[in-house]
Amino acid sequence: MSDIVEIDYQFNFINGLKINIPLKIDDKTAQTVVKHPDDLPKWTALEFNQCKNCPLTTAQQANCPLAVQLLNIVENFNQVQSTDEVNLEVTTPSRKI
Instruction: Check residue 31 and give its pLDDT.
Output: 82
Instruction: Please give the average per-residue pLDDT across 7-21, as a whole number.
Output: 95
On whether the CB atoms of residues 8 and 91 are closer than 8 A, the answer is yes
* Residues 94, 77: Cα–Cα separation, whole Å: 27
Q: Tell me the pLDDT of the chain averaged across its residues.
A: 91
Please report, as a single letter, which amino acid is at residue 39: D
Instruction: Please give the average per-residue pLDDT across 11-38, as a whole number.
Output: 89
